[in-house]
C-alpha cells in the first residue's frame, strides 16, 4: 500500500479533501495530513469538515511518500508562499512521485515550477496562471500527464480519485 501525503491549510474546498482522503483510506493506503504547523486544526471553507495536521511541512521528507494530494479552495494560496512546501513538491516531482491537485491545487505546482510542457487542468480562474507557467491547459474533468494529475472542480472528484488510485 502507498503512503499518501495531503498538503493542507485552512480554507480548502471541503469535498476536495474529504472525498479523496476517504477514498485513499478505504483503498488501504496510509494517509497523513501535512500543514504549515503540526497539530493545527484545519477547517474547510464550507465548515463541513476539519482535519488536524499530523505533521508540519518541516517535519516530513519526500522519500516517505508515494503521492502528494493538494485539495483546492483557498488553501493552496497559503501553501504556495511557504518555501518548504514548494521545495517538497519540487522534490516529489524530481522523484517521480504522484502529485495530484484539484481546483486551485495546481497553484502549488506552479510555484514549484514543475509544469513546463505538462498537460493540466484546473479551476477556470487559474487557467491563465497555468498557461503562464508553461503548461498546456485542457478543459477536461481530469488530466494525467506522467506523474501529474489535475482536475477542475468538485464535480470532477470521481474521475480525479479514480486516476490517483490507478497510479497507486
| Residue 59: how many other CB atoms lie within 10 Å | 12
Active site residue 29: no
Active site residue 104: yes
**One of 23, 57, 99, 103 is an active-site residue; which one?**
103
**One of 29, 80, 97, 104 is an active-site residue; which one?**
104
DSSP 64-116: G-SEEEE--BTHHHHHHT-HHHHHHHHHHHHTT-EEEEETTTHHHHHHTT--T
Q: How far from 68 is each of 31, 130, 131, CA to CA, in Å?
A: 10, 19, 22
Q: In whole angstroms, what is the distance from residue 122 CA to residue 23 CA?
A: 21
Instruction: Please write down the HEC assignment for all residues of 29-46.
Output: CEEEEEECCCCCEEEECC
User: Where in the sequence numbering do the catalytic residues fall?
Assistant: 103-104
Amino acid at each position: 500500500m502507498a503512503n499518501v501525503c495531503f498538503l493542507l491549510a485552512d480554507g480548502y474546498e471541503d469535498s476536495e479533501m474529504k472525498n479523496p482522503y476517504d477514498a485513499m483510506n478505504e483503498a488501504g493506503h496510509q494517509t497523513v495530513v501535512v500543514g504549515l504547523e503540526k497539530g493545527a486544526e484545519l477547517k474547510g471553507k464550507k465548515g463541513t469538515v476539519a482535519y488536524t495536521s499530523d505533521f508540519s511541512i518541516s517535519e516530513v521528507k519526500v522519500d516517505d511518500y508515494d503521492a502528494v494530494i493538494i485539495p483546492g479552495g483557498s488553501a493552496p494560496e497559503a501553501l504556495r508562499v511557504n518555501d518548504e512546501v514548494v521545495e517538497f513538491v519540487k522534490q516529489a516531482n524530481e522523484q517521480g512521485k504522484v502529485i495530484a491537485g484539484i481546483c486551485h491545487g495546481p497553484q502549488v505546482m506552479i510555484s514549484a515550477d514543475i509544469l513546463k510542457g505538462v498537460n493540466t487542468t484546473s479551476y477556470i480562474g487559474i487557467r491563465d496562471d497555468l498557461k503562464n507557467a508553461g503548461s498546456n491547459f485542457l478543459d477536461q474533468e481530469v488530466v494525467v500527464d506522467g506523474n501529474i494529475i489535475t482536475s477542475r472542480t468538485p464535480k470532477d472528484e470521481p474521475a480525479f480519485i479514480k486516476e490517483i488510485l490507478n497510479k497507486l
